[in-house]
Amino acid sequence: MGVRKKLRAQQLKEDRKTKFFAKLNGCPTSPRKMRLVADQIRGVEVEKALALLKFSPKAASRDLEKLTLSAIANWQAKNEDANIEDAGLFVKEIYVDSAAMLKRLRPAPQGRAHRIRKRSNHVTMILGEKNNTSNS
């Protein structure tokens, strides 16, 4: 590995230690449906985001609620003595990427077949602290 590549890898590793994130891989919901819910909580405080997700009628909101709780738990693991309300946690970044697609065939008229694509996605959520200027 070259020197420049090695330095960049070390820098990314150090940055990852100060980020608080959670990932959800292979969620069996289409990315388009998941992005509708993810856009609602981007940039919102964690308490308000949890309330939005809890009372949202969308099925994707249940998965994002669990992901938010996981990200909060990851934050608490690194900051045992800190309080969530005092830290001012908010959803800094959330992005939804497409994952593997299951391809199925459905019978169609006159002996033909139509392809059904069952989509899935990967979600990454990164939390930020409003009171800490290094993470914002």
Looking at residue 132, what is its pLDDT? Answer: 59
**Neighbouring C-beta atoms of residue 122, cutoff 10 Å:** 17
54 in any annotated domain: yes
Looking at residue 93, what is its pLDDT? Answer: 95
Q: Tokens standing for 41?
A: 């909580």
* CATH for 121: 3.90.470.10
Instruction: Report the predicted TM-score, pTM, of the whole model to 2 decimal places.
Output: 0.83
- CA 15 remoteness from chain centre: 18
1 in any annotated domain: no
11 in any annotated domain: no
Phi/psi class of residue 26: alpha, beta or left (left: φ > 0; alpha: ψ in -120 to 50)?
Answer: left
Q: Which helix (H) or strand (E) holds 47?
A: helix 46-54
Across the chain, where does the E strand assignment appear?
Answer: 20-27, 89-98, 102-107, 113-118, 121-129
In the predicted model, residues of the chain with pLDDT beneath 70 are 132-136
Q: Domain count of the chain? A: 1
109 in any annotated domain: yes
114 in any annotated domain: yes
Looking at residue 136, what is its pLDDT? Answer: 44
Task: Name residue 21's amino acid.
Answer: F
3 in any annotated domain: no
How far is 103 from 45, CA to CA, in rounded Å?
Answer: 38
For residue 59, give its domain range: 20-129
9 in any annotated domain: no
6 in any annotated domain: no
